[in-house]
Amino acid sequence: MIKDIMNANDSATPNCREMAVLKENFPSCFKADGSFDIERFKEFLSDKIAVTGEGYELKFLGKNYARLLASIDTTTVVVPDEEHNSKSENMNSENIYISGDNLDGLKHLLKSYSRQVKCIYIDPPYNTGTDGFVYNDQFNFTVEELSEKLSIREEQAQRILDLTKRGSASHSAWLMFMYHVFYWLGIYLRMMGLYLFLLMIMSKPILN
């Protein structure tokens, strides 16, 4: 099973999960060669919602890379802590505590808790430059592989890889880190669910 996931990850592209949802629900919007017919899709929506090409968007170096990471399945395995679980105070507990990488943990819980969570509380690193936050990941893409997957120039791919490997604390590195966390958290939250974020006081004027 792990080998199948690894093979699937090799062919993963940014937004491939979203494209799979579209293909399942709007198969007639895909051409014979597998490409997506956006004009046909607009026809489905035109009498239901206003289709516009304008709007706000946050852009940063590595955004498509973060989308790619969100599309890759975990190859880790959750192993129960039998000693902890067998203690009398824990035997009947309904809580789940996962120790490990945040993103891996979120992916493991998806099948059981998708659209089931009422409230999510998150205390992210602040990225003040003095709080110890640095971004690193375990993915070992080459410049050529990343350039092909993201359809970008090799110079751009190198800049992104530099961010992921040197322990960067830049804003772009922080946004890459946060993007795929929020992507997966959004899949868990109910339609009427609630997000709670812990932010620094200096962020309040910006949010206002």
Task: Give CA–CA dist 160/83, Å, rounded.
Answer: 42
- Characterize 31-63 residue by residue with b for buried, 16 or more Cβ atoms within 10 angstroms of its Cβ, and e for exposed: eeeeeeeeeebeeeeeeeeeeeeeeeeeeebbb
Question: Rounded to two decimals, what is the model's pTM?
Answer: 0.66
80-95 tens-digit pLDDT: 899 999 999 998 888 8
158-205 tens-digit pLDDT: 888 887 776 666 777 778 878 878 888 888 888 888 988 777 776 666
- Characterize 157-178 residue by residue with b for buried, 16 or more Cβ atoms within 10 angstroms of its Cβ, and e for exposed: beebbebbeeebbbebbbbbbb
Four-CA torsion 127, 128, 134, 139, nearest 10 degrees = 30
Inter-residue contact 103 to 175 (CB < 8 Å): no
Q: Count H helices and E strands in the chain, helices first.
A: 10, 2
44-56 tens-digit pLDDT: 776 666 656 666 7
Which DSSP helix (H) or strand (E) runs through 121?
strand 117-122
